[in-house]
């Protein structure tokens, strides 16, 4: 059954979305999300299944274009202003009230069967979500890759009883949402791979010179309170041929390894140029399941990641992925696989076959559709 799904999300990497829209062939609907975020691939898979989609960008004022954000260490004027704004109740913010009214109008016009609320919501009021559910009869899906204990605001926790289904990467996060009042949860990783996109890339000599390294890391490393385990892992590899790509600032101890930023296809080209990609999860993910876990496997580069329960559930340790127990173990395994080319390439090829067989976005959508009847009954 084709469903009408209205995403409520923040627009990240607006420049990537503008580029994706500009490159869309004539006669083809432009994408709703940039290819640097997982929602882009959910969008593609949902459209292939015949569902109808729309999006409301909650972080943009009417007619707003959006600007890319870059995290920096230390105090900045932007952080101070954001901190002061966070102290204000969202209901007291006149701009937020306008955005909530605009969302309600959009929902009444679109008449969704599902309202898909992407996590880290600081704008949309519980009252607005309740009004949309009452007016349209839609189910409310809340999808988040982070811990409500660490990241959520009061506005999200207050709305938890309205969530008919919470989708999480990390099983432990799902339990936390149930404790906050959500009706149901499913540990269905929001990340996966799209074989048309997450694949090995043929690189030019210039790209190999720019991206080539023994070990690559792409991701966020600040603040330390959230990513200290990543920083320690990379510090343990400081005497290797290490390359780091991040759209944000990185700790001083690792800055000499920074090669720039990498989003979307550039990120996949970086991974294609490396012999190994290292993927430590953030401190707030104790079960596992970040985006890179499945994307890197699709590229066909050997992945070293921390030993977490979810990784053991979704991969076969020693057959499709290599896990490490601590920074010293990471060093040992990196050294071993850099010295054993055949084993490294065989593991990487097996990982790619595995995610193409078991962890595509089409399979995620099929699994979601199995969960929807109960959510839609409410």
pTM of the full predicted structure?
Answer: 0.92
Residue 280's nearest CA partner among 257, 299, 296 is 296
123 Cα distance to chain centroid: 20
Q: 96 in a domain, yes or no?
A: yes
The confidence score (pLDDT) of residue 374 equals: 86
Question: Sign of torsion, CA 48 354 337 325?
Answer: positive
The confidence score (pLDDT) of residue 370 equals: 96
Whether residues 169 and 53 share a domain: the answer is yes
Whether residues 307 and 230 share a domain: the answer is yes
The confidence score (pLDDT) of residue 21 equals: 96
Whether residues 220 and 115 share a domain: the answer is no
Give the whole-angstrom CA distance, residue 360 versus residue 269.
Answer: 19
The confidence score (pLDDT) of residue 79 equals: 46
Q: 200 in a domain, yes or no?
A: no
Residue ranges of the chain with per-residue pLDDT less than 70: 63-86, 378
The residues, any chain, with a CB within 8 Å of residue 34's CB and separated by 6 or more, are: 12, 13, 14, 16, 17, 19, 20, 40, 263, 264
Q: 271 in a domain, yes or no?
A: yes
Q: 199 in a domain, yes or no?
A: no
Please state the domain count of the chain.
2
Q: 198 in a domain, yes or no?
A: no
What phi, psi does 306 have (nearest 5°)? Answer: -75, 150
Exposure letters 293-331 (e unless 16+ CB within 10 A, then b) = bbbbbbbbbbbbbbebebbeebbeeeebbbbbeebeebb
Exposure letters 155-178 (e unless 16+ CB within 10 A, then b) = bbbbbbebbbbbbbbbbbbbebbe
Q: 144 in a domain, yes or no?
A: yes
Whether residues 170 and 239 share a domain: the answer is no
- Classify residue 58 by burial, with Cβ atoms within 10 Å: 0-12, 13-18, 19+: buried
Whether residues 354 and 365 share a domain: the answer is no
Whether residues 180 and 81 share a domain: the answer is yes
Q: 197 in a domain, yes or no?
A: no
Whether residues 115 and 231 share a domain: the answer is no
Q: How many residues does the chain have?
A: 378
The residues, any chain, with a CB within 8 Å of residue 267's CB and separated by 6 or more, are: 36, 218, 245, 295
The confidence score (pLDDT) of residue 73 equals: 58
22: domain CATH number is 3.40.50.2000
Q: 123 in a domain, yes or no?
A: yes
Q: Which domain holds residue 151?
A: 4-192+361-377
Whether residues 47 and 169 share a domain: the answer is yes
Whether residues 290 and 343 share a domain: the answer is yes
Whether residues 174 and 217 share a domain: the answer is no
Whether residues 125 and 229 share a domain: the answer is no
Whether residues 131 and 173 share a domain: the answer is yes
């Amino acid at each position: 059954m084709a469903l009408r799904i209205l995403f409520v999300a923040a627009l990240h990497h607006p420049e990537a979305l503008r580029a994706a829209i500009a490159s869309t062939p004539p006669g083809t609907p432009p994408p709703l999300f940039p290819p640097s975020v997982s929602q882009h691939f959910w969008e593609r898979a949902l459209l292939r299944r015949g569902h109808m989609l729309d999006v409301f960008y909650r972080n943009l004022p009417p007619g707003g274009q959006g600007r890319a954000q870059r995290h920096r260490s230390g105090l900045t004027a932007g952080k101070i202003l954001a901190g002061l704004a966070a102290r204000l109740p969202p209901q007291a913010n006149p701009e937020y009230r306008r955005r909530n009214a605009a969302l309600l109008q959009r929902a009444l016009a679109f008449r969704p069967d599902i309202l898909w609320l992407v996590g880290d919501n600081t704008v949309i009021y519980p009252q607005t979500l309740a009004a949309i559910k009452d007016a349209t009869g839609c189910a409310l899906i809340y999808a988040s890759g982070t811990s409500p204990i660490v990241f959520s605001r009061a506005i999200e926790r207050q709305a938890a009883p309205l969530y008919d289904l919470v989708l999480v990467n990390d099983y432990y996060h799902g339990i936390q949402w149930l404790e906050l009042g959500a009706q149901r949860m499913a540990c269905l990783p929001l990340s996966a791979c799209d074989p048309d996109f997450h694949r090995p890339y043929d690189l030019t000599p210039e790209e190999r010179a720019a991206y080539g390294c023994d070990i690559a890391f792409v991701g966020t490393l600040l603040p330390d309170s959230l990513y200290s385990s990543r920083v320690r892992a990379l510090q343990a590899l400081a005497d290797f041929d290490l390359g780091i790509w991040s759209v944000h600032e990185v700790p001083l101890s690792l800055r000499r390894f920074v090669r720039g930023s990498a989003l979307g296809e550039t990120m996949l080209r970086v991974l294609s140029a490396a012999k190994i990609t290292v993927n430590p999860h953030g401190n707030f993910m104790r079960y596992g399941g970040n985006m890179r876990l499945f994307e890197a496997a699709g590229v066909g580069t050997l992945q070293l990641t921390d030993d977490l329960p979810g990784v053991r559930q979704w991969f076969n340790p020693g057959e499709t992925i290599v896990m490490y127990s601590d920074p010293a173990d990471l060093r040992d395994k990196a050294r071993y696989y850099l010295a054993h080319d055949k084993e490294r390439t065989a593991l990487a090829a097996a990982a790619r076959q595995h995610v193409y067989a078991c962890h595509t976005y089409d399979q995620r959508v099929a699994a979601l559709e199995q969960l929807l009847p109960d959510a839609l009954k409410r």
